A = this chain, B = another copy of it.
């Protein structure tokens, strides 16, 4: 199987999306000069070039791309070649309105932006296959070509009639019979029994709440349709270049795709990552996505897009302070990335993203941004031989599942204040702050390699997942589960008792009487000063727990907030950050899991990759870190004994 190592060959990839069709050819030569200065070895071409490549139906214009591929090759820059199918040319929607998606309200999504294609449109798919085929034929043997990039940030949906037909096909495949669908969707509720497949629709605008199982299946369907679009193009390029790996770039923790499932269909897993430079949790939220992408890749991965400076889609778009781009880039490498790439090489002067920064900004090579890009290129080249291809090991796994997220995100639920990514982030943040390196895993993955498994929230757990968790604990693993876990089965059917009986037995819970969601800002006091947020529960224990922390005061006074039975913990609220961090540190210690480095100052992150120890300082004031023994700092090429001082946003890459 082709692999990212075939592309990196001992290097770290460095570069970005390159859209030279926006520039006159004289700028191309300026570009290669600056790429050389910055140490860029990789660019992504063609992401949004469909109307250039196919200016009219069936026509082809490859000349400009031929010249570019040659130019890149001449200058030693590898090309990640994209299929241009994320943004069809205007002629397509004009000639084939059936290729345009409809939203739940029936509104057409017109061209003029991007991603105005219906994943279900046979016409769209036919055109996409044809242009992919021709692209693959033309460049299969080109020496610059290193990796295929299919489409871009798959993220669309369609509620129109052709999608409805495809949805019915998908449902037939999933459920077999209409009876089975009626059962799975619980259509006895609100008189929704389907008597004919033709009656089944996407969950379009309705008078009141929609059927949540229908909504769940529609999300599954949407992910699968997009995946079909991906695999169809992947299979075409594979036929022509079986030796070259294929990827598509994910958006970080994006609701629209089951990325576990998708990653299995990729040779290389890549992701786009845009934390807000102003977000105090920016570094940790980046780490979360990096950990998740590494876990999906089961090894090195690509940071396909990030911003060298500000983005342009937030309400207020903050630039990156001096040093932050370098810090966050090296953080990605520490957490397993073998590629540090950007959207985009040269900032556009026109179009909807002209205020999204580039490696070469509007200020050009004199700009601070480019100067920092240049410095980072040198840093990456310096550490690449020691890091490329190596792995990150974790003793802790955090479980995450898109289907559970989708099912839990329904209209009529106990509390719409419960935000799944927020809960997941809060748990990951506590582990990150405790200095624990974590993988992510799917609930049916083999967990036996982990000392500690953390379930922030898995509202939906299939029987297989439940079996897996129980087996993990039986096998000696330590498990911590957060609230709203194990509530629903694969069809979003509430399990008897409101929480799976096996789980209740595992934690020592007899009866789940009521959920007591908390209002924003409200907290639930518990023993030992712990305060819960967001949620609390009226639980009746069965007397088998080894340890409990009780609620104090209020309606739940004296009832258990946290239960431990053997190695299984249940946490019925979201503890405040400090308390959650302390709890997890304690549980981890009990499971024999140690932080990467003891006694780290706040804001300093330590990660081991291969034999290297990365120290990343997220603060602005200099800080000294104890690092027992003697190391070589690969970035400064100095020797470090026992301690090292990191300046603002400082990084050290230490080799023993």
Contacts and interface: CB of A to CB of B under 8 A. Distances in A.
Contact of A90 (B194, B203, B513): B194
Nearest to A413: B355
A628 interface: no
Contact of A186 (B110, B322, B348, B364): B348
A322 B352 CA distance: 50
A514 B198 contact: no
Contacts of A310: 414, 514-515
A191 B50 contact: yes
A621 interface: no
Interface of A: 19, 21-22, 48-52, 55-56, 84, 87-91, 93-94, 101, 105-116, 156, 185-196, 198-201, 203-214, 278, 309-310, 312-313, 315-319, 321-322, 348-356, 361-364, 366-369, 410-417, 491-494, 496-498, 510-519, 538, 555
Nearest to A315: B416
A261 to B, nearest CB: 23
8 contacts: A109-B205, A111-B192, A113-B211, A189-B351, A210-B352, A350-B494, A354-B412, A368-B513
Given A352-B411, A417-B316, A196 B94 contact: yes
A201 B93 CA distance: 11
B112 A210 contact: yes
Contact of A350 (B84, B200, B493): B493
Question: Which of A55, A56, A191 is packed against the most chain B CB atoms within 10 Å?
Answer: A191
Contacts of A113: 190, 206-211
* Highest count of chain B CB atoms <10 Å: which of A192, A200, A315, A410: A192
Nearest to A183: B350
Nearest to A49: B191
A189 B52 contact: no
Contacts of A366: 510-511
B368 A188 contact: no
A514 B319 contact: yes
A319 B538 contact: yes
A84 B352 contact: no
Contact of A198 (B94, B115, B309, B414): B94
A519 B416 contact: no
Query: Ordered nearest first, which 9 A-B pairs have the shortest CB separation?
Result: A186-B350, A189-B351, A113-B206, A362-B498, A51-B193, A209-B352, A90-B199, A319-B514, A87-B191
Contacts of A414: 310, 312, 316-317, 355
A90 B196 CA distance: 9
A93 B410 CA distance: 24
B89 A193 contact: yes
Nearest to A520: B316
A201 B91 CA distance: 12
B188 A52 contact: yes
Contact of A493 (B107, B199, B349): B349
A491 B350 contact: yes
Contacts of A212: 351-352, 354
Contact of A108 (B51, B204, B315): B204
Contacts of A22: 186, 188-189
Nearest to A350: B186
A355 B414 CA distance: 6
A193 B108 CA distance: 20
Contacts of A497: 362-364
A103 B538 CA distance: 42
A496 B56 CA distance: 32
Contacts of A491: 350
A194 B187 CA distance: 46
